[in-house]
Structure 1
């Protein structure tokens, strides 16, 4: 019979409308995800440019900021594992970053008293001073990049 494979009149919306709406929702979701990635990349670049003059990059500052917040609240240090959970770096990348900050005299490492295999990291006086100097610069970049409007 001719026309047998065609949907009956009135079924196009119900049969084909839902997949179209789902496809549009998926496209909107992917666009939103890519917009977030682009904002992250632009913000990271802006932070790196602003912090470069102070001798640190955005990742360096993130580690210092975590350590500064902890020492202000508790007067102590973080285990490397705790820092890696907060700064979204792999443990190996974080270890290299900490080694570089230590070489620059910004952080110091020590053995965990509760677990001799663990390593604790804290800011040095030089690291606290640099953090205090760079903090307003970093926050200004975040305000500029992440403000609505």
Structure 2
């Protein structure tokens, strides 16, 4: 016969199933991988948002990436992307330029230093993904 629970002993609920269970599993997996990446990338002096931004710039294979296009291609909010780009610019990894034809548009360009940092950090990033996924 089981004893009734007391205030000190919280009752355990069954793990959710179906779509809610899948959603929570996805959130947990994302958190584990993101935390592992943040920790590993910090050794290189770069955050996950900054690395993801560099990677998008490398993948685009273009000299100038319109900030509005970059915003649509990355999981970051527009304000988080602006902060990440500002940090990358401060560290000399990207440059920002105004569009000559449209003064509202801003282009982001990967610098040589940015490409070097990306190439240095890439093996660490992939090793963490391989380990966690």
Same fold (TM over 0.5): yes
Taking the aligned partners of 1:81 and 1:143, their CA distance within structure 2 comes to 31
Displacement after TM superposition at 1:116 (Å): 2.5
Matches within 5 A, 1:105-120: 105-120=92-107
Question: In the TM superposition, what are the counterparts of 1:1-149 in structure 2 within 5 Å?
Answer: 27-71=17-61, 75-146=62-133
1:129, distance to aligned residue in structure 2 (A): 0.2
Counterparts of 1:114 and 1:36 in 2: how far apart (Å)?
A: 43
Query: Between Structure 1 and Structure 2, how many residues are aligned?
Result: 118
Q: CA deviation at 1:57?
A: 1.0
> Does the CA-based 8 Å contact 1:79-1:118 persist in structure 2?
yes
- The RMSD of aligned alpha carbons is 1.4
Where structure 2 has 5 or more consecutive residues not aligned to the other structure, the ranges are: 1-15
Specify every segment of 5 or more residues in structure 1 that has no aligned partner in the other structure, as ranges. Answer: 1-25
> As a proportion of its length, which structure holds more helix?
1
Structure having the higher Rg: 1
Determine the C-alpha separation between the residues in 1 that align with 2:26 and 2:100.
41
How far residue 115 of structure 1 moved from its aligned partner, in angstroms, is 2.1
Task: Supply the distance in 1 between the matched residues of 2:101 and 2:33 (Cα, whole angstroms).
Answer: 38
